[in-house]
A and B are shown apart, each in its own frame.
Chain A
Amino acid sequence: MSETRVMGQPLTRLEGERKVTGRAPYAYEHPLTDPLYLHPVLSTVPRGRLTGVDASAAEALAGVRAVLTPYNAERLAGAGDGEFAVLQSEEVSFHGQFVAAVVADTPETAREAAALVRVEYARAPHDVVLTADHERLYRPVGEDDEGPASDTEEGEVEAALERAEVVVDQTYRTPTEHNNPMEPHTTVAVWEEEPGRLTLYDSTQGVHVVRASVAGVFGLDPERVRVVAPHVGGGFGSKGEAHAHDVLAAMAARVLPGRPVKFALTRQHMFSLVGYRTPTIQRVRLGADRRGRLDVVVHESVEQTSTVQEFTENSAMCSRWMYAAPHRRTRHRMAALDVPVNFWMRAPGEAPGMYALESAMDELAQACGVDPVELRVRNEPERDPQSGAPWSDRQLVRCLREGAERFGWYGRDPSPRARREGDWWVGTGVAAASYPHLYNPGSVAVVRYGGEGVYEVSIGAVDIGTGAWTALTQIAADALGVSVSRVRLRIGDTDLPSASVAGGSSGTSSWGTAIVAAARAFAAEHGGAPAPGAVARASAGEDTVDEGYAVYSFGAHFAEVAVHADTGEVRVPRMYGLFSVGRVVNPRMVRSQFLGGMVMGLSMALHEQSFRDPRYGHVANGDFAEYHVATNADVRDLRAEWLEGEDPRATPMGSRGVGEIGVVGTAAAVANAVYHATGVRVRDLPITLDTLVR
């Protein structure tokens, strides 16, 4: 783009006033007349068949409008056999699956009636425990399948490990983690029989994504399904697709035409119905010379998925591009267990994968006696190791070196357990961060001149807290050559032109590209003096990203930790991240995205863990009292900065995504600092007191 006068400015959020007063409507909050309330009944066994559902007591309760069970529910020809097949059979595939639902006049009645539904099961044997040598392990993407390969192999891995002067061979584990956006997943469904139109007020990262899925499930023309989401209370991946609750709410609405059916999941429901991050068991083997130059990298990850639907986390992918080494192997194996469907959680693959790789790099630095920053610099690849392509803008070395300066890294005593301040052991740790530049072609934007200098810009994008309302307005202002006050942005509705999902840090890249294209089309069609009502429409092209280059973002995390000598309590007094993401569209919001990612990474390092009970298959700590996330007091001196830059090979704005890189590598920086402080290497997240007190 030629001129950027608005991009780069730290505007405050355009919807800020409505959010701080609570007036911005989320899915549950659109004013609708005479709503009904849905409360579901969830399976209490991990595997088996329903042998009967007795809803008579529920139906007898005053105010109950309908009870849906597999015996009376609509047959959904388009549901397939995955998670959308709601109430389609007696089969129970995991604990916490929908087996019935009550719709009633009030939320209290719906909940009471749901508790009165009697469900009988014939239990079948189940398996919910992932192990490194599980008998059901398989290779998720075979030779002939589409998608990124499960396995890669270059050179002579075993021979290189044999002859390496220094070898690190360790296994790292990450637990089941749940996204837990603050706004519980919610769908309000309205079915109008005439003309046969379904409206969903949904908490989603992609209105068009949900529309396509739900229309398919019900065999409806997509034009007859409208999905609305002006404001969304976070998602972090879990709202990246429709889930079973969207289908259930729509089914209920079709039984009760004309009445809005409100279905807000409880926090507890979210532990079995809207995805989660698989546990991972990752073996990393690094072989290097005494100076820490890698000769071989092996990263093998074992992960789980559900029997209902497959999702691959791909944790070892990061080892395909991070460091140079002539001999390399990455491998993914999965077991389909009797567990809920797993799905995207912020930086799927990279978040757990970089915890393992960057912990192993720290172990290698220790083994070689090389500074961990310097070790990474020594293994910097000139070109992308997997494709051989040149980098568009790889700034890892600068992030590491300048980050180390700004953090105050140098001058540290590298020996572990060397610094004691009062009752606390103190240490510092570093880890690299990286995230691929993802871009979804095909989003469409429409620019319409409304007269008096004002342009209306429409695209069915969604703001889940990323700042899309503001950032897209800034991009549009620069693309049209006007000030922000002249742009009226419309997003969050399938009545607007089709847009891709807010996922994979691709939203601003993909939608911004469409907006720039539409602005260019507008200028070409209407020139500098358009008539009121002039319209142009364009889509984000296939060839936006320069195929000749490897386009990735990079960064470096630094953490200082203090571990209490008697109790093992871990505190993180300082965290610093330096990132390179191309052009920064709005510094205020980009900084918030980095900080938010780092807080989630800190949370991953110290707190987050869902315990699945092997006997019953449910998450035993399924609420905020026991599934701990970082609180305000956990976060102390937290800073994020970035290198100024632009990457026109990534997008016409020169920007790359920023939503996920902050969570990548953070947990490793904390774990490495814990090692430096205490001499205890934790290879099993989260880092709890019991792992540190010996």
Chain B
Amino acid sequence: MEATITLRVDGEKHELTVDTRTTLLDALRDRLGVTSPKKGCDHGQCGACTVLVEGRRVLSCLTFAVAQEEAEVTTAAGLAGEGELHPVARAFVDNDGFQCGYCTPGQVCSAVGMLREAAEGWPSHVSGDLEGPVRLDDEEIRERMSGNLCRCGAYANIVAAIREAAE
């Protein structure tokens, strides 16, 4: 079964016809040629496909494209302004927060979404207090970024990058 939908990706509007089984991730990668989000597992287990939907982090392999009609999707490629990097992405480069780079666009989107969650006072598993502002120390960053696997093991540098970008 097919459906014609409109996706808004990195500020651009696309009308496309998709199989209703198509995930947002496959619609982006296979149909629109937007390959910034990566496929590491296709099962919501690794975080490589993380994008921002209306500013919130979403695993694009776990949502159908048809469910994102008209939603504003931002990938790591769309985070940057013209000719410059988003501060989080910049901090990843400066702190060597990656090696092979395959988990990286997902890490960057996840970090941007996470910083907003923390700013809005969302507690995590390691927050001592469920109310009030979040103090984003390393333990909080590690916990909140643990949905994004990095097989190259760049975690220490990822935390350093996010700490730097958060300041």
Chain A positions near chain B (C-beta within 8 angstroms): 12-13, 15-17, 19-26, 28-29, 31, 37, 106-109, 180-184, 231-234, 236, 264, 266-267, 464-467, 588-589, 591-593, 595-600, 603, 623-625, 629-636, 638
The list of the 7 closest CB pairs from A to B, nearest first, reads A22-B36, A599-B153, A465-B100, A233-B102, A19-B101, A22-B105, A465-B99
User: Are B105 and A267 interface neighbours, CB within 8 A?
Assistant: no
Which residues, 88 to 145 on B, are CB-close (under 8 Å) to A? Answer: 89-90, 92-94, 96, 98-105, 108, 141-143, 145
Min CB distance A32 to B, Å, is: 10
User: Are B156 and A635 interface neighbours, CB within 8 A?
Assistant: yes
Q: Known: A108-B19, A592-B157, A635-B142. Is A182-B40 also a contact (CB below 8 A)?
A: yes
User: Are A16 and B93 interface neighbours, CB within 8 A?
Assistant: yes
Chain B positions near chain A (C-beta within 8 angstroms): 19, 21-22, 26, 29-30, 33, 35-43, 45-46, 48, 75-77, 79-80, 85, 89-90, 92-94, 96, 98-105, 108, 141-143, 145-146, 148-159
Residues in chain B near residue A29, CB distance under 8 A: 29, 35
Residues in chain A near residue B153, CB distance under 8 A: 595-600, 603, 630, 635
Min CB distance B165 to A, Å, is: 12
Min CB distance B13 to A, Å, is: 20
**Between-chain CB contacts (< 8 Å), 30 pairs:** A17-B93, A20-B104, A21-B36, A21-B76, A22-B77, A24-B101, A29-B29, A31-B33, A107-B30, A108-B22, A109-B19, A180-B151, A182-B152, A233-B38, A234-B99, A234-B152, A465-B100, A589-B96, A592-B96, A592-B152, A592-B157, A595-B157, A596-B99, A596-B154, A599-B155, A600-B151, A623-B41, A632-B159, A633-B142, A635-B142
User: Are B102 and A26 interface neighbours, CB within 8 A?
Assistant: yes
Min CB distance B119 to A, Å, is: 20
Residues in chain A near residue B141, CB distance under 8 A: 632
Residues in chain A near residue B39, CB distance under 8 A: 28, 184, 264
User: Are A625 and B151 interface neighbours, CB within 8 A?
Assistant: no
User: Are A12 and B146 interface neighbours, CB within 8 A?
Assistant: no
- Compute how far the CA of A100 lies from the CA of B41 in the bound complex, rounded to whole angstroms: 22
Min CB distance B59 to A, Å, is: 12
- Compute how far the CA of A599 lies from the CA of B154 in the bound complex, rounded to whole angstroms: 8
User: Are B100 and A233 interface neighbours, CB within 8 A?
Assistant: yes
Residues in chain A near residue B80, CB distance under 8 A: 21
User: Are B100 and A635 interface neighbours, CB within 8 A?
Assistant: no
Residues in chain A near residue B146, CB distance under 8 A: 631-633
Q: Known: A12-B94, A632-B145. Is A465-B77 also a contact (CB below 8 A)?
A: no
Q: Known: A184-B39, A595-B157. Is A23-B151 also a contact (CB below 8 A)?
A: no
Min CB distance A638 to B, Å, is: 5
User: Are B101 and A231 interface neighbours, CB within 8 A?
Assistant: yes
Chain B minimum-CB-distance residue to A264: B39
* Contact residue among B85, B158, B159 (Cβ-Cβ distance under 8 Å from A21): B85
* Contact residue among B108, B149, B150, B151 (Cβ-Cβ distance under 8 Å from A20): B108
Residues in chain A near residue B21, CB distance under 8 A: 108
* Contact residue among B43, B100, B158 (Cβ-Cβ distance under 8 Å from A632): B158
Between B33, B100, B156, the greatest number of chain A beta carbons within 10 A of the residue's beta carbon is seen for B100
User: Are B96 and A22 interface neighbours, CB within 8 A?
Assistant: no
- Compute how far the CA of A467 lies from the CA of B98 in the bound complex, rounded to whole angstroms: 10
- Compute how far the CA of A624 lies from the CA of B148 in the bound complex, rounded to whole angstroms: 11
Residues in chain B near residue A264, CB distance under 8 A: 39
Min CB distance A103 to B, Å, is: 15
User: Are A22 and B38 interface neighbours, CB within 8 A?
Assistant: yes
- Compute how far the CA of A536 lies from the CA of B39 in the bound complex, rounded to whole angstroms: 41
Between A20, A597, A603, the greatest number of chain B beta carbons within 10 A of the residue's beta carbon is seen for A20
Q: Known: A181-B151, A182-B151, A231-B101. Is A12-B46 also a contact (CB below 8 A)?
A: no
- Compute how far the CA of A600 lies from the CA of B99 in the bound complex, rounded to whole angstroms: 14
* Contact residue among B38, B42, B90 (Cβ-Cβ distance under 8 Å from A26): B38
Min CB distance B22 to A, Å, is: 6
- Compute how far the CA of A25 lies from the CA of B153 in the bound complex, rounded to whole angstroms: 21
Chain A minimum-CB-distance residue to B141: A632
Residues in chain B near residue A37, CB distance under 8 A: 30
User: Are B36 and A631 interface neighbours, CB within 8 A?
Assistant: no
- Compute how far the CA of A563 lies from the CA of B96 in the bound complex, rounded to whole angstroms: 31
Min CB distance B47 to A, Å, is: 10
- Compute how far the CA of A625 lies from the CA of B40 in the bound complex, rounded to whole angstroms: 12
Min CB distance A653 to B, Å, is: 20
User: Are A629 and B151 interface neighbours, CB within 8 A?
Assistant: yes
User: Are A267 and B40 interface neighbours, CB within 8 A?
Assistant: yes
Q: Known: A181-B100, A183-B102, A465-B100. Is A595-B156 also a contact (CB below 8 A)?
A: yes
Chain B minimum-CB-distance residue to A106: B19
Min CB distance B78 to A, Å, is: 9
User: Are A183 and B157 interface neighbours, CB within 8 A?
Assistant: no
Chain A minimum-CB-distance residue to B107: A20
Residues in chain A near residue B96, CB distance under 8 A: 12-13, 588-589, 591-592
Between A12, A37, A635, the greatest number of chain B beta carbons within 10 A of the residue's beta carbon is seen for A635
Q: Known: A592-B157, A631-B146, A633-B143. Is A624-B98 also a contact (CB below 8 A)?
A: no
Residues in chain B near residue A13, CB distance under 8 A: 93, 96
- Compute how far the CA of A589 lies from the CA of B41 in the bound complex, rounded to whole angstroms: 27
- Compute how far the CA of A183 lies from the CA of B42 in the bound complex, rounded to whole angstroms: 11
Residues in chain A near residue B43, CB distance under 8 A: 267, 623-625
* Contact residue among A20, A108, A593 (Cβ-Cβ distance under 8 Å from B85): A20
Q: Known: A182-B46, A466-B99. Is A22-B75 also a contact (CB below 8 A)?
A: yes
Residues in chain B near residue A184, CB distance under 8 A: 39-40
User: Are A464 and B89 interface neighbours, CB within 8 A?
Assistant: no
Chain A minimum-CB-distance residue to B41: A267
Residues in chain B near residue A630, CB distance under 8 A: 153, 155
Residues in chain B near residue A465, CB distance under 8 A: 98-102, 152
Chain A minimum-CB-distance residue to B21: A108
Residues in chain A near residue B155, CB distance under 8 A: 599, 630-632, 634-635, 638
User: Are A596 and B152 interface neighbours, CB within 8 A?
Assistant: yes
Chain A minimum-CB-distance residue to B26: A107
User: Are B150 and A182 interface neighbours, CB within 8 A?
Assistant: yes
* Contact residue among B37, B41, B85, B158 (Cβ-Cβ distance under 8 Å from A22): B37
Residues in chain B near residue A106, CB distance under 8 A: 19, 22, 30
- Compute how far the CA of A288 lies from the CA of B5 in the bound complex, rounded to whole angstroms: 74
Min CB distance B75 to A, Å, is: 6
Residues in chain A near residue B45, CB distance under 8 A: 267, 623-625
Chain B minimum-CB-distance residue to A10: B96
Min CB distance B95 to A, Å, is: 9
Residues in chain B near residue A633, CB distance under 8 A: 142-143, 146
Residues in chain B near residue A632, CB distance under 8 A: 141-143, 145-146, 148, 150, 155, 158-159
- Compute how far the CA of A451 lies from the CA of B155 in the bound complex, rounded to whole angstroms: 42
- Compute how far the CA of A588 lies from the CA of B161 in the bound complex, rounded to whole angstroms: 14
Q: Known: A21-B36, A26-B102. Is A638-B156 also a contact (CB below 8 A)?
A: yes
Min CB distance B62 to A, Å, is: 13
Min CB distance B111 to A, Å, is: 11
User: Are A624 and B41 interface neighbours, CB within 8 A?
Assistant: yes
Residues in chain B near residue A464, CB distance under 8 A: 100
- Compute how far the CA of A597 lies from the CA of B155 in the bound complex, rounded to whole angstroms: 12
